[in-house]
Amino acid sequence: MTQEKEVYYDYLSSKNIKHSKQRENILDVFLNAEEHLTIQELFEIVKKENKNVGVATVYRAMKIFCDAGLADEINLGDGNKRYEHKYNHKIHSHLICVKCGKLIEFCDERMEDIQSDVCSKFNFEPRDRRLQIYGVCEFCKDK
Amino acid sequence: MTQEKEVYYDYLSSKNIKHSKQRENILDVFLNAEEHLTIQELFEIVKKENKNVGVATVYRAMKIFCDAGLADEINLGDGNKRYEHKYNHKIHSHLICVKCGKLIEFCDERMEDIQSDVCSKFNFEPRDRRLQIYGVCEFCKDK
DNA sequence: CTATGTGCAAATGATTTGCAACGCG
DNA sequence: CGCGTTGCAAATCATTTGCACATAG
């Protein structure tokens, strides 16, 4: 069993939440997705395997996965919430192309220094962080 | 006349957009606001001075101000879009308290280095940047 | 058996749009 | 006068919620 599933089952028992086929389907689709999908996109994929699933269930499930620490909401500025994997992933940052919407992830260890400096300055206890750089990617630049 | 207004009038003429009393009211409220207001908040304030204004006009106006480079949308994660001043402001970052919603702005020059390094690595042309650090502020920590 | 989960449809809330009237230039 | 702008209400879109039924433990 994957570590993510372990985290999920632990979370379920710690919160007295029952298992369900639908939520399990949704989790599998989410965990196997390479990209950052919207609720609608997750819903379309899940529906292919299990025709009787409502969007509401996808909303409810993603909320649980976020609480469990497996997923994280991100907002790329196109007006749609998307979800990314959180468990066991380093905090990373995003380059977002404003022309084609392409997303590049990166990680720079200097961010940690900046965060700890500014947080101690303001006596702030950090929990999470997001960095997005908007611009034009190499392919769109040439056009 | 403030620099912001100059930018605004220049933008209007460059795009063949007419002046209007309502939009001018909205711009004044936006420019005088210390905090990052939502559309609804801007709307409430404008309505006090000019009873006959519709929300739609506020939406349309803020879109123009963003295009003109005077305003910027920000999303603090509470589900509400807010607007901040953009013209002549250094790119800054936000500490956001997840308990009380308080917003602290800061600016760290090391961000520029990180941005230029990662952008040259991916051949990416940066235009704008956002950094949000979520956590608990000094006042909420003690509770 | 009992509490929780589900699908559906209706409710909500934010934002957009169509339209006839209005007003800037 | 002519075209962009406005307020209003209706339309749209994402998300949430109430409820009767299904199901896990």
CA→C1' distance for B96 and C4 (Å):
35
Residues 94-113, chain B, CB closer than 7 Å to nucleic strand C: none
Tell me the mean pLDDT in the region A27-51.
94
Residue B134 has a pLDDT of 94
Closest CA to B87 of B107, B116, B66, B58: B66
- Alpha helices (runs of H) in A33-137, residue ranges in sequence order: 39-49, 55-67, 110-122
When CB atoms are compared, the residue of B111, B113, B132 closest to A130 is B132
Q: Does any strand D atom come closer than 7 Å to the Cβ of A63?
A: yes
Q: How confident is residue B80, by pLDDT bands cut at 50, 70 and 90?
A: confident
For chain B, the average pLDDT equals 94
Please indicate whether, in this complex, the C-beta atoms of A125 and B117 are within 8 angstroms of each other.
no
**Chain A nearest-CA residue for B126:** A135
Q: Do A131 and B130 touch (CB under 8 A)?
A: yes
| Percentage of residues of chain B with pLDDT beyond 70 | 100
Residue type, B25: N
In this structure, are residues B137 and B99 in contact, taking their beta carbons and an 8 Å threshold? yes
If pLDDT is split at 50, 70 and 90, which confidence band does A26 have? very high
Tokens of A21: 């086929």
Pairing of strands B93-97, B125-136: parallel
A124 CB neighbours in chain B (<8 A) are 95, 97, 104, 133, 135-138
Residue B19's pLDDT is: 97
pLDDT category of residue A2 using cuts at 50, 70 and 90: confident
Question: What pLDDT is recorded for position A77?
Answer: 74
How many CA atoms within 13 Å lie on the side-chain side of A72? 18
Does the structure show a pLDDT above 80 at A96?
A: yes
List residues in chain B touching A: CB distance below 8 A.
73, 75, 77, 93, 95, 97-98, 104, 106, 108, 110-111, 113-115, 117-119, 121-138, 141
Range 16-55, chain B: CB under 7 Å to any strand D atom = 16-18, 20, 22-23, 50, 52-54
pLDDT tens per residue across span B53-73: 999 999 999 999 999 999 999
Q: In this predicted structure, what is the pLDDT of residue B77?
A: 73
- The answer to whether the Cβ–Cβ distance between A125 and B135 falls below 8 Å is yes
Q: What is the DSSP string of B46-90?
A: HHHH-SS--HHHHHHHHHHHHHTTSEEEEE-SSS-EEEEE-TT--
Q: What is the pLDDT of residue A1?
A: 72
The answer, yes or no, to whether residue A22 has pLDDT greater than 80, is yes
Which residues, other chains included, contact A111 with Cβ-Cβ below 8 Å and sequence gap of 6+?
A91, A93, A129, A131, B114
Predicted pLDDT at B122: 97
From the number of C-beta atoms within 10 Å of its C-beta (0-12, 13-18, 19+), residue B135 rates as: buried
pLDDT at B1: 72
Nearest to A40 by CA among A82, A71, A73, A74: A82
Q: Domains along chain B? A: 3-85 (1.10.10.10), 93-141 (3.30.1490.190)
* From B119, B135, B136, residue closest to A135, measured CB to CB: B119
Residue in A with minimal Cα distance to B92: A131
Q: Give B2-28 pLDDT, tens digit per residue.
A: 899 999 999 999 999 999 999 999 999
Distance CA(B71)–CA(B36), nearest Å, equals 10
pLDDT in the model for residue B51? 83
Q: What percent of chain A has pLDDT over 70?
A: 100
**Chain Cα centroid distance, residue B59:** 13
Are the C-beta atoms of B46 and B52 separated by less than 8 Å?
Answer: no
Q: Using 50, 70 and 90 to split pLDDT, how confident is the model at A80?
A: confident
- Confirm whether any atom of chain D, the nucleic acid strand, is less than 7 Å from CB of A13: no
Option in B108, B114, B128 nearest A108 (CB): B114
> What's the pTM?
0.88
Q: Give the other-Cβ count within 10 Å of A110's Cβ.
A: 13
* Residue the block writes with tokens 């295009």: B67
Strand D nucleotides, any atom under 7 Å from protein beta carbons: they are 4-9, 14-18, 24-25
Confidence of residue A130 (pLDDT cuts 50, 70, 90): very high
Which of A124-128, B32-36, B49-53, B137-141 is least confident?
B49-53
pLDDT at residue B78 greater than cutoff 80: no
Dig out the tokens for A62 from the structure.
Answer: 């993603």
CA distances from B98 to A107, A129, B4, B133, B134 (A): 24, 12, 32, 10, 6
Split at pLDDT 50, 70, 90, the class of A76 is confident
